[in-house]
């Protein structure tokens, strides 16, 4: 199957108390839906950012490519900083997007607890 995953895309919403309270992290309760039920293919990229300290045991930070078909109509709707959640419960933050003839490609970093 070309697009084996199903994703939803949400956008973090700013609260009026932002900056007045301590940081509580991102939660699904303070996100608005951009799209849901979108077919996708999620692939790990080998490239990544090196740790700036440059220690011998440091690895690179993994990045991900998320492909959606053209009929998903996501062109222009997804912005940097939006969150992608797949059907396995993994969450990714979009760092950049690219619209092309076959659909959309989102470059993302995985969010981990």
Q: What is the pLDDT along the chain (113 residues), one digit of tens a residue?
A: 799 999 999 999 876 555 555 455 555 567 999 999 999 999 998 665 666 666 766 666 778 999 999 876 677 889 999 999 999 999 999 999 988 888 899 999 999 75
Which is it for the CA torsion 3, 102, 35, 91, positive or negative?
A: positive
Q: CA-CA distance, 68 to 107, in Å (whole number)?
A: 12
Say what the pLDDT of residue 112 is.
77
| pTM (two decimals) | 0.77
What 8-state DSSP symbol labels residue 46? E
- What domains appear along the chain, each with residue ranges and CATH number? 1-11+30-46+61-113 (2.40.10.370)
With a CB cutoff of 8 Å and minimum separation 6, the contacts of 62 are 44, 45, 48, 109, 110
The neighbour count for residue 78, using CB atoms within 10 Å, is 22
Bridge partners (DSSP) of residue 25 are: none
């Amino acid at each position: 199957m070309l697009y084996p995953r199903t994703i939803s895309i949400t956008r973090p919403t700013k609260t009026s108390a932002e900056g007045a309270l301590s940081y509580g992290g991102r939660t699904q309760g303070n996100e608005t839906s951009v799209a849901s039920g979108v077919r996708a293919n999620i692939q790990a990229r080998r490239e990544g950012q090196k740790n700036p300290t440059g220690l011998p045991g440091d690895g690179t930070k993994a990045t991900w490519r998320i492909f959606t078909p053209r009929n998903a109509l996501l062109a222009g709707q997804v912005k940097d900083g939006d969150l992608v959640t797949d059907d396995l419960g993994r969450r990714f933050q979009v760092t950049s997007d690219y619209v092309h003839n076959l659909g959309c490609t989102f470059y993302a970093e995985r969010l981990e607890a």
